[in-house]
Amino acid sequence: MRKSVEFFFDVGSPAAYLAWTQLPRLAADTGATILWRPMLLGGVFKATGNNSPVAIPAKGRWLINDLKRWADRYGVPLQLPADFPLNTLTLMRGAAGIQLRQPQDLARYLEAVFNGIFAQGLPMGDPAVLAEVLSKANVDPAHLLALAADPEVKQALVATTEEAVARGVFGAPSMFVGEEMHFGQDRLEFVAAALLS
């Protein structure tokens, strides 16, 4: 029976970006399916009393250096934007909306947004920059904003965020194989082992 990995993520997390760059290969190597689970990291933090690691200066400096080491290991670019950490509410509502209404476009959307934020270091909180990135990826910026304002889409994102918290998620990325949770992009080998067991 083919296994799956649930990937709870927020596009504002550099660790989620790094995991995203590796998941397709991991899935191919293990024969697994990826279940994309967009959640709002700010909502998770609020519900769990957690906070971004960069809120603690020494921890933030260490983490950024560590993420760069992982990016080098994976052979992928990593450039934090000047507006990091950014408010991802519109972006994550967009992800939830595209998944709900146009699931075939989710991969293209995530590629544009993750790469815009962390490969190119673009200030995606700027509406003009976001519109340009989305247009280049053949995603209509006006349609994305309409999705982000849709009550059903808003509720879908809330529901996934609440489910994540109920299942023990406290940060991103969090991955589940069955009911076993793996937190952090540096736990991908454990995810692979769980998928192969």
Quote the CA–CA distance of 30 and 27 in Å, as a whole number: 5
Token duo for residue 19: 């995991």
pTM: 0.96
Quote the CA–CA distance of 188 and 126 in Å, as a whole number: 32
Q: Across the strands, what pairs with 38?
A: 9
DSSP string, 168-190: T--SSSEEEETTEEEESGGGHHH
Amino acid letter, 15: A
In order along its 197 residues, the chain shows pLDDT tens digits of 679 999 999 999 999 999 999 999 999 999 999 999 999 999 999 999 998 888 899 998 999 999 999 999 999 999 999 989 999 999 999 999 999 999 999 999 999 999 999 999 999 999 999 999 999 999 999 999 999 999 999 999 999 999 999 999 999 999 999 999 999 999 999 999 999 99
- Enumerate domains of the chain plus CATH numbers: 4-196 (3.40.30.10)
